Structure 1
Amino acid sequence: MSDYIDLTGAEQSFGDTDAQREVRENDRQYVFHSWSAQGAINPLPIAKGEGVRFWDYDGTEYLDFSSQLVNLNLGHQHPGLVQAIQDQAGRLATIQPAMANDVRGELAKRIVEHSFAGARSVFFTNGGADANEYAVRMARVHTGRQKVLARYRSYHGSTSTAITLTGEPRRWANGTLDSGVVHFHGPYPYRSVFYSETPEQETERALAHLRSTIELEGPSTIAAIILESVTGTNGILIPTPGYLAGVRALCDEFGILLIADEVMAGFGRTGHWFAFQAFDVTPDLVTFAKGVNSGYVPLGGVVISEAVHQTFDQKPFPGGLTYSGHPLGAAAGVATFDIFAEEGILERVRDLGERVVGPRLREIAERHPSVGEVRGTGLFWAIELVKNAETREPLIPFNASGDAAAPFNAVVAACKQAGLWPFAAGNRLQVAPPLIISEEDLVRGLDIIDEALNVADGYVGA
């Protein structure tokens, strides 16, 4: 029996050094990688993925605890998604977005029905960054205003407006590509910039800070506030009690649109179709990508409220994409809804998060002095690592690299050595496996993290 299928469709076995060498050489000679100094990287060649695992050409198996880039919600090679794409390709591989298409319309209908009260339509994009770009464009045209407020400790994409909205170091080298963006602080109780002592106090002070920012920037100049409903890469920051409702109230008071960035948190990651649904708040625009079809074909979009939709009823929308609502991506999106229902995905995510992940991580935190805090919901959790639990000094400095990042890199290496591919960001290990993961594999992954944290413990007090 073969281990994997190669580029030509031939069956191959692990351990083929010639095949691996060719993949490495082609990558290093011809592929330009994102967020990287090209001469300083050596990407791992991957031969196969299946379920919650993937393998390199030597046959080394990794438990995927990051869902690749937190997009592979239904895992590698899910037969329902693969079949949907194959079937669609067989009957209509592509059609331009100006024409009506059955699978595109069906997916838009399902997304609207599962999003928020007052949702009207969906504009499809190729991914999350352009979804945020277009949501901001809609907000600006709808309100006639230009400024957009976005939080620090956020990531919204790497295209021009999206990277300017981003509130973390990846923005820095790009300069200010959209001069209408203003940043503000959101709630982060563990490292509160408001010196809060309780989550409720954090909410009150964060909202006061936001109100002040709005007033000082000029409410009549602000088109929208964009925020990740649950912050993803920058720490799995769960909104403090009443915070999102408070942001909604400020938007209503000043005529500002609320954009919920659900690119990472949406489509089941938190145990809900969209993360904002757990906080009793209704946005005006919702951006999505990743989990809508697990990234099997690039697809993203914006869910649009009735009010914003009506702005463009007689006025043309100034934007478009050749591959908007691509049939292959849409087919996988429709299949995603079917699979979620058939496999009870939302229910099992909530169950595993509440019954397995949360209790185990809290137990891990009690035993490891390197763990400052654990937080999360569903299958979306963060383990924040520290050198000193009392002072909350991070394991490594903010935006560390080189030797300064060595302690954290050692923890990540221990995970990989044990067969776990972690979601590593900043000074955090973040837990985000495919939503189809079995309880057995989930426990195994947490066991590996537990053991790897012994490495982090060795740096405590250093």
Structure 2
Amino acid sequence: MSTTSTTLSEVREKDLKYNLHSWSAQAGLKPEVITKAEGIYFWNEEGKRFYDMSSQLVNVNIGHGNKKVIKAIKDQADKIPFIGPAFALDVRAEAAKKIVEIAPDNMAKVFFTNAGAEANENAIKIARMVTGKYKILSAYRSYHGATYGAANLTGEPRRFASEPGIPGFVKFVGPYPYRGPIEFKNEEEATKYYLTLLREQIEYEGPETIAAIFQESVVGSNGILIPPKGWMQGVRDLCNEFGIMMVCDEVMAGWGRTGEWFAINNWNVEPDMITFAKGVTCGYTQLGGVIVSKKIADYFEKNTLWCGLTYSAHPMGCAAACATIDVYKEENLIERSKEMGAVLGEILEDIKAKHACVGDVRYIGLFSAIELVKDKETKEPLVPYGKDPEGVMKKILNMLRSEGFWNYSHENILIVAPPLIIKENELRDAMNIMDNVLDFVDNVIGK
């Protein structure tokens, strides 16, 4: 990009003058001006290169600048950039077909949205329409989006701005064995404990009022909480028993992130609906959606689907999705996620063993978290839940970024989720930066 430093300064000035930045008080912001992005890297206005170790918002799975996807968007823009969702279109039909073909076997059709929050909004409506019930259960440590319904579905503090909320949203305590109230002997024991709590809550709430149980197949921003053995099947069994729909939010965990097309495939369980976005186009353009089972699809043969969006199944989004799915297949990225995930797991276990500030590490495919603590024995979090008055986590992120490692944190947890195209040497080089920064954190908490 041939731009003078003065012009780049003006970009930031204009940005701050006219844009509202999400999740932030605006005063004091100094956003990086980005001039280039390619592969697993991006560069700022000073030419500094960053490892994109969170794939931006855990969505740029195929990396930056993929020519195949870019060409597909350009070609569609030349052909038909937009036509209303009521019309049949080649890329619209093909995108839905490709998605259903890689989804669990019981899935049949797709309702397209613009993004993940809208996908969850519409899944809520579908569950209520099909079951005739109104309550929706979701976990406390969860994030499902920031639109009003999705925010009510969300369990963590980002929901507070949308409260008092919509009637019928109920929270349950999902599996988090590391911070469980007792020391579990194994995963099966943890599963039994949390399923007992969930069954009790279903009974207390009245199963005849519960339309759906929503959960992230692997909890994302709230800590990469991987379901213990038997949990997913246990939830499926409860849903079957009580006539409740099982909805898996795969907005972040889907599209190869865990080493499977969809994270739920790791447990061979078939939900009633899957919500998706992010990795379906890897951010090259917007697209999300709800994949529904044959049973739900059959219901809407004679019953009206009261869902609709101007940009549902947007042609350029569908074209990007078709090309992106081809890239996953042609570059063998699902298997690469497993292979590089094994390497990342080894690195993270070494980091856990080495550093006093690391209480736990969790990983599945290229989806991982480093949980920071003040004391390994007591497991006291480095910052309290929902609070960071001294900006400790922000300081750690700034140290990482100063060394060219870009990721994000949530609560006391550092998220590491690089693009699936990352090579082993790149992964090891980047994680060396993390290792060095955690040396500093060790010294701070040791004083």
| Structure 1 equivalent of residue 111 of structure 2 | 123
1:369 aligns with 2:346: no
For 1:458, what is the secondary structure of its paired residue? helix
Aligned counterpart in structure 2 of residue 442 of structure 1, from 420, 424, 427: 427
Q: Deviations over 1:82-138 (max 9, x none)?
A: 111111111111111000011011010011111112211000000000100000100
| CA contact 2:32–2:45 (8 Å) conserved in 1 | no
For 2:62, what is the secondary structure of its paired residue? coil
Q: CA deviation at 1:429?
A: 1.4
| Structure 1 equivalent of residue 377 of structure 2 | 390
TM-score for the superposition, normalised by structure 1: 0.95
Aligned counterpart in structure 1 of residue 133 of structure 2, from 145, 152, 155: 145
Q: CA deviation at 1:372?
A: 0.5
Structure 1: unaligned runs, 5 residues or longer: 5-11
Separation in structure 2 between the aligned mates of residue 416 and residue 461 of structure 1, nearest angstrom: 23
Task: Give, as a single letter, the amino acid of the residue that structure 2 aligns with 1:247.
Answer: V
1:460 aligns with 2:445: yes
TM-score for the superposition, normalised by structure 2: 0.98
Separation in structure 1 between the aligned mates of residue 68 and residue 109 of structure 2, nearest angstrom: 26
Aligned counterpart in structure 1 of residue 31 of structure 2, from 5, 23, 43: 43
Separation in structure 1 between the aligned mates of residue 183 and residue 237 of structure 2, nearest angstrom: 24
Q: Deviations over 1:32-52 (max 9, x none)?
A: 111111224221111111111
Aligned counterpart in structure 1 of residue 243 of structure 2, from 255, 261, 266: 255
Task: Give, as a single letter, the amino acid of the residue that structure 2 aligns with 1:37.
Answer: A
Q: CA deviation at 1:176?
A: 3.1
| Structure 2 equivalent of residue 309 of structure 1 | 297
Q: Identity percentage over the alignment?
A: 48
Task: Give, as a single letter, the amino acid of the residue that structure 2 aligns with 1:446.
Answer: M
| Structure 2 equivalent of residue 9 of structure 1 | none
| CA contact 1:349–1:379 (8 Å) conserved in 2 | yes
Aligned residues: 447
Q: CA deviation at 1:161?
A: 1.2
Q: CA deviation at 1:341?
A: 1.3
Counterparts of residues 192-207 of structure 1 (less than 5 Å): 192-193=180-181, 196-207=184-195
| Structure 2 equivalent of residue 7 of structure 1 | none
Structural RMSD (CA)? 1.2
For 1:138, what is the secondary structure of its paired residue? helix
1:109 aligns with 2:109: no
Separation in structure 1 between the aligned mates of residue 398 and residue 285 of structure 2, nearest angstrom: 30
Q: CA deviation at 1:329?
A: 0.8
Separation in structure 2 between the aligned mates of residue 313 and residue 38 of structure 1, nearest angstrom: 48
Stretches (4+) displaced over 4 A: none
Separation in structure 2 between the aligned mates of residue 71 and residue 203 of structure 1, nearest angstrom: 30
Separation in structure 2 between the aligned mates of residue 453 and residue 121 of structure 1, nearest angstrom: 46
Q: Deviations over 1:17-58 (max 9, x none)?
A: 211111111111111111111224221111111111111111
| CA contact 2:361–2:370 (8 Å) conserved in 1 | yes
Counterparts of residues 2-401 of structure 1 (less than 5 Å): 4=1, 12=2, 16-193=4-181, 196-354=184-342, 356-401=343-388
Q: Deviations over 1:198-245 (max 9, x none)?
A: 322110010000000000000000000000000000000100000000
| CA contact 1:385–1:456 (8 Å) conserved in 2 | no
Q: For residues 279 and 431 of structure 1, do their structure 2 counterparts lie closer, same or farther at Cα, with a shift above 3 Å needed?
A: same
| CA contact 1:410–1:455 (8 Å) conserved in 2 | no
| CA contact 1:231–1:238 (8 Å) conserved in 2 | yes
Task: Give, as a single letter, the amino acid of the residue that structure 2 aligns with 1:387.
Answer: K
| CA contact 1:81–1:336 (8 Å) conserved in 2 | yes
Q: CA deviation at 1:297?
A: 0.8
Separation in structure 2 between the aligned mates of residue 138 and residue 185 of structure 1, nearest angstrom: 24
Separation in structure 2 between the aligned mates of residue 130 and residue 459 of structure 1, nearest angstrom: 42
| CA contact 2:56–2:407 (8 Å) conserved in 1 | no
Q: Which moved more, 1:57-66 or 1:420-429?
A: 420-429
Separation in structure 1 between the aligned mates of residue 95 and residue 284 of structure 2, nearest angstrom: 15
| CA contact 1:293–1:336 (8 Å) conserved in 2 | yes
Q: For residues 160 and 194 of structure 1, do their structure 2 counterparts lie closer, same or farther at Cα, with a shift above 3 Å needed?
A: farther
Separation in structure 1 between the aligned mates of residue 84 and residue 394 of structure 2, nearest angstrom: 45
| Structure 2 equivalent of residue 427 of structure 1 | 412
| Structure 2 equivalent of residue 418 of structure 1 | 403
Structure 2: unaligned runs, 5 residues or longer: none
Q: Deviations over 1:407-460 (max 9, x none)?
A: x22321221111110232211111101111121111111111011101210233
Q: CA deviation at 1:461?
A: 4.5
| CA contact 1:373–1:383 (8 Å) conserved in 2 | yes
For 1:313, what is the secondary structure of its paired residue? helix
Q: CA deviation at 1:286?
A: 0.2
Q: For residues 140 and 194 of structure 1, do their structure 2 counterparts lie closer, same or farther at Cα, with a shift above 3 Å needed?
A: farther
Task: Give, as a single letter, the amino acid of the residue that structure 2 aligns with 1:416.
Answer: R
Separation in structure 1 between the aligned mates of residue 175 and residue 124 of structure 2, nearest angstrom: 23
